[in-house]
Structure 1
Amino acid sequence: MKVRTLFLLLTVAAIAVFTALNWSAFMAPATLSLGVANVQAPLGLVMLGLVAFLAALFLVFVVYLQTSVLLEARRHARELQANRELADQAEASRFTELRGFLEAELKREAGLNAESRAIVLARLDQLDRDLRSAVEQSGNTLAAYIGELEDRLERGRAT
């Protein structure tokens, strides 16, 4: 259990014990002014009710805040994934286009022999592997950053 949660539970328990020990004082009637009229009511019970109301209001606010942060984080993650897929497709398309262009140029160049073509194609394959590796590393780095942000959000919500 986290320190803040423990502190909150201890505070609620202390208020409950204090209320139980002083119940007769809480229930003692008093004259309360409402501005336009005076009423007889137990002041302690009214104050206790106000504390409970404020605690419930705060709880609703915290739940709303956490829900909105969670929904926003999920929306960002979806957008990031869509952008990552779009970038991967664009890189693959460019590479395919480059490969087609180079192969057409190689065919056009009659002066190149088969050995030179094999060397160029091997180099092109190596560049393909390097590019795919770089894109994968970028994706992994991005995923790590997203994971770190999600962890920070989780820790922020938990505290």
Structure 2
Amino acid sequence: MKVRTLFLLIVLGATAVFAALNWNAFMAPATLSLGFASVQAPLGLIMLGLLILLTAFFLIFVVYLQTSVLFDTRRHARELQASRELADKAEASRLTELRAFMESELKRQAALDAESRAAVLARLDQLDHDLRAAVEQSGNTVSAYIGQLEDRLDRGAHGLAPRPL
């Protein structure tokens, strides 16, 4: 039980005990002025009746507030659920679009990879051919120089004058 509810029950119980202990004073007649007439009535009983009437009014008011808050809460919960479902559908749609985009990009990338592998292999073949040609040409050049050196050495050894370069 909440502290406020417990406090309210204690106050109402204390008022009931006070009224029971002083019932004779509550029932004592008094002259009451209504503004346009005077009436003989028990003032304590009228005040106790007003207290009960106000308590009932406030209880009805609290029940009304609680009910309206409950209905608003349920309405907001339904709206929130509808919004959540809409957001989930939108998110699922975005994920589907992203998946489709990624699949198309991966397929395109795979095609590009196959093409680029073929291009790289062709380029490597060309570079290999060029390198072999350059090595062969260098070998021929070195052989020619060696041949010239041998020729010079042979001419120099036989007493012939070396050829001018």
In 1: Cα distance, 2:82 partner to 2:35 partner: 60
Alignment-mate amino acid for residue 3 of structure 1: V
95-104 or 37-46: bigger deviation: 95-104
Q: Does 1:42 find its partner at 2:42?
A: yes
- Residue deviations 1:99-144, cap 9 Å, x none? 223434555563344xxxxxxxxxxxxxxxxxxxxxxxxxxxxxxx
The change in CA–CA distance for 1:48 and 1:61 in structure 2 (over 3 A counts) is same
| TM-score scaled by length of structure 2 | 0.61
Alignment-mate amino acid for residue 112 of structure 2: G
Asked if the contact 1:30/1:42 (under 8 Å) is kept, the reply is yes
In 2: Cα distance, 1:88 partner to 1:20 partner: 63
Query: Which secondary structure does the structure 2 equivalent of 1:40 belong to?
Result: strand
Query: Which secondary structure does the structure 1 equivalent of 2:35 belong to?
Result: coil
- Matching residue of 1:17: 17
In 2: Cα distance, 1:77 partner to 1:111 partner: 51
Asked if the contact 1:106/1:112 (under 8 Å) is kept, the reply is no
TM-aligned CA deviation for residue 15 of structure 1: 1.1
- Residue deviations 1:72-107, cap 9 Å, x none? 122111111111111111111122123223434555
Q: Does 1:3 find its partner at 2:3?
A: yes
Q: How high is the sequence identity, in percent, across the aligned residues? A: 74
Aligned residues: 113
Q: Does 1:63 find its partner at 2:60?
A: no
When Rg is computed on C-alpha atoms for both structures, the one with the higher figure is 2
- Matching residue of 2:88: 88
- Matching residue of 1:29: 29
TM-aligned CA deviation for residue 48 of structure 1: 0.3
TM-aligned CA deviation for residue 23 of structure 1: 1.1
Q: Does 1:111 find its partner at 2:127?
A: no
Could you tell me which runs of 5 or more consecutive residues in structure 1 were left unpaired when the two chains were aligned.
114-159
Could you tell me which runs of 5 or more consecutive residues in structure 2 were left unpaired when the two chains were aligned.
115-165
86-95 or 51-60: bigger deviation: 86-95
In 2: Cα distance, 1:9 partner to 1:105 partner: 72
Alignment-mate amino acid for residue 111 of structure 1: L
TM-aligned CA deviation for residue 10 of structure 1: 1.7
In 1: Cα distance, 2:6 partner to 2:79 partner: 38
In 1: Cα distance, 2:113 partner to 2:99 partner: 17
Asked if the contact 1:32/1:39 (under 8 Å) is kept, the reply is yes
